[in-house]
Structure 1
Amino acid sequence: MIVEAGLACVPAPGRTDEGCEDHGALGPSAMVVVDGVGLPAGGCRHGVAWYARQLASATLAAVATDDGPLADGLASAIRTVAARHRDCDLAHPDTPSAAVGVLRIGAGSVDLLSLADVAIAVDLGADGLHVVVDRHAEARAGLAEAGLAGHRIGTAAHAAAVAGLLAERETACNRPGGFWVAAADPDVARRATTATLPGAGLRRAVVCTDGASWPVDSGVWNWPDTFALLDSRGPYGLVAAVRELEAADPDGVRHPRVKRHDDATVAYLRVLP
């Protein structure tokens, strides 16, 4: 199997690459995408961008060298990164955390893992399109689009609605009955949504943060449309198409969202004939 892969990690407009809280990593047989979350006062002197980069590289190293369950690899990576900043306050509720998506091509199979809303779509040709995404955060906090509908980005009403969503998410984060994100506790890796698909029909696959997948979630386009964009424009072209949508609706009237722009990361592969 000859695989061509590409990666785009694009900060939100106005943010530098160094401040981008997304990160991606590619290996010969695996792709990892991380969407960092946290606050500057979260007890860690390194910050969210540092955490996202560390977790992406550690996860790729763990899953690429072991054919065991992806959850085991993610748990090992969380443990490794926690050890790298054990002098920080890792018990702080706003310590850096992240959503994670992993795809690994094995001997005859494709393994997938999604933790806290990084989306993975796999095109198996005649065997159809398969999507894996952890939706626990949305189920607990309510769909952002519904909660923000009618509120223009930048207004007090929008800020209040966002604050309500964030407060709801905070009460549910890494708690039974809520949703789970990677932070300092390796056991949360067992809460991820996983799947194993047959590898024989693999044609294309994409792993992306919600900064790149929100048009699918909002019904602007679907996963076949996404693959068509990736085939014609590549990962950076897909992010550019997302930015075009955001620029055409800067106040979030047609497409309600938490913020005007978000960091966007896309890892894409296709099998060459």
Structure 2
Amino acid sequence: MRTELASEPGDADRPNEDFAGVGLPASGQGGSLVVLDGVTPPRGGAGCRHSVPWFTARLGGALSELTVSLPDVPLADLLSRALVRTADAHVETCDLSHPRTPQATVVLARWSPESVEYLVLSDSVLLVESPDGAVTPLLDDRLALLPRSALATDALVDATVRNKEGGFFTAAADPSVAARAVTGTLPRAEVRALAALTDGAARWVEKFREGDWTECLALVRKEGSRALVDRVRALERADTDRVVLGRSKTHDDATVVYVEF
């Protein structure tokens, strides 16, 4: 088995809000990956005394442990348990009902000799490659399908679509959000490789259109996870007139985890 992980902050002067980990149980039977993309809150407070990196470290750590230690519990249930554990760590000091309480997108995958389970919540992506080379992106596209008018301001997003029916969902403090995730199970024999990308790394496909998902995974296999992040950074720096980036931040935290069976 080959595993690779690369993660880089969008700004060297700010902490990386992503979390990534690969777990390989001592039994040698299977493993798991966890990728979180922390949601940067707007200025003005989020009702919490803790930072987004604090939250992603807590939630990511819980998920890393639970996906390995409870192999028979479905991933959605594990996400729910991890959210409860994380919320309990700061419910006494923070307003967890605030719409911008620390939160994150989630990608989980867990494999055994028989199967590969997956969970995707919000706009990170899990790529699945089959033995014949076909690549399937597993996406939660609810945010991408919203009209731009619904995302005009932070206040509008928080009031109408963030963690609301008809909008999109992220992992915050409410454990019931786990049931909103995109989940499924594939036969292990039908999976040759996995690649989990936060949206900062997925820009190579989704924003800069340098290739499709198949070409993206091929790049990671051939040149490594770090190479994809470097390609994205070069494209961001080259877009000096912001033809592609527009009002988006120049650099976003970018994380890639690759697993080849």
TM-score, normalised with respect to structure 1 = 0.85
- Residues 141 and 169 of structure 1 are in contact (CA less than 8 Å); yes or no, is this contact kept in structure 2? no
1:195 and 1:168 mapped to 2: Cα distance? 32
Return the alpha-carbon distance in structure 2 between the equivalents of residues 38 and 242 of structure 1. Answer: 20
Distance 1:169 1:59, change over 3 A: same
Task: Tell me how far 1:141 sits from its aligned partner.
Answer: 4.5
Q: Is residue 24 of structure 1 aligned with residue 20 of structure 2?
A: yes
Cα deviation, residue 228, structure 1:
2.1
User: Which residue is equivalent to 1:9?
Assistant: 7
Hey, what's the Cα distance between the residues in 1 that align with 2:247 and 2:181? 25
Determine if contact 1:251/1:260 at 8 Å carries over to the other structure.
Answer: no
Q: Which amino acid aligns with 1:134?
A: D
Give me the whole-angstrom Cα distance separating, in 2, the residues matched to 1:264 and 1:200. 30
Shift of 1:117: 1.1
1:188 matched to 2:177: yes
**Could you say which residue in structure 2 is the equivalent of 1:231?**
221
Instruction: Specify the code of the residue in structure 2 equivalent to 1:59.
Output: L
Distance 1:37 1:238 in 2: 22
> Secondary structure of the equivalent of 1:121?
strand
| 2:157 equivalent among 169, 172, 193 | 169
1:104 to 93, 107, 110: 110
CA distance in 2, matches of 1:183, 1:256: 28
Q: Residue 69 in 1 paired to residue 65 in 2?
A: no
> Which residue of 2 is the match for residue 57 of structure 1?
61
Amino acid at match of 1:50: W
Q: Residue type matched to 1:125 in 2? A: P
Deviation at 1:239, TM superposition (A): 0.4
User: 2-side partners of 1:31 and 1:237: how far apart?
Assistant: 20
TM-superposed CA distance for 1:197, in Å, is 1.3
Q: Deviations over 1:187-237 (max 9, x none)?
A: 000000112111113221101100000221233211122122212221111
**Percent identity at matched positions?**
38
1:245 aligns with 2:235: yes
What residue in structure 2 maps to residue 83 of structure 1? 88
| Residue 79 to residue 184, structure 1, CA distance change in 2 (3 Å) | same
Q: State the Cα distance separating 1:69 from its structure 2 match.
A: 1.5
Determine which of 132, 143, 146 is the counterpart of 1:126: 132
**Is the contact between residue 101 and residue 113 of structure 1 (CA under 8 Å) also seen in structure 2?**
yes
**SS of residue in 1 equivalent to 2:215:** helix
Quick check: which one's helix share is greater? 1
Question: Which has the larger displacement, 220-229 or 88-97?
Answer: 220-229
Please show how residues 133-152 of structure 1 align to structure 2 within 5 Å.
Answer: 133-142=139-148
Q: 3-state DSSP class of the match of 2:233?
A: helix
Structure 1 gaps, min length 5:
148-160
C-alpha separation in 1, matches of 2:62 and 2:192: 27
Displacement of 1:167 in angstroms is: 4.2
Can you give the 5+ residue segments of structure 2 that lack an aligned partner in the other structure? 25-30
Alpha-carbon distance, 1:182 to partner: 0.5
SS, match of residue 3 in structure 2: strand
d(CA) in 2 for partners of 1:202, 1:269? 10
Q: What is aligned with 2:28?
A: none
What RMSD over aligned residues (CA atoms) do the two structures have, in Å? 2.0
Cα deviation code 1:5-25 (max 9, x no counterpart)? 111111013334xx1111111
Spell out structure 1 runs of 4+ moving beyond 6 A.
none
Paired letter, 2:152: G
Q: Give runs of aligned pairs for residues 205-220 of structure 1, distance below 5 A.
A: 205-218=194-207, 219-220=209-210
- Structure 1, 51-60 or 179-188: larger mean CA deviation: 51-60
Deviation at 1:97, TM superposition (A): 0.7
Question: What is the one-letter code of the residue matched to 1:32?
Answer: V
Q: Name the CA shift for 1:203/1:37 in 2 (closer, same or farther; >3 Å).
A: same
Structure 1 Cα separation of the partners of residues 213 and 137 of structure 2:
9
Contact 1:141 1:168 in 2 (8 A): no
Instruction: Give secondary structure in 1 for the equivalent of 2:146.
Output: helix
Amino acid at match of 1:35: D
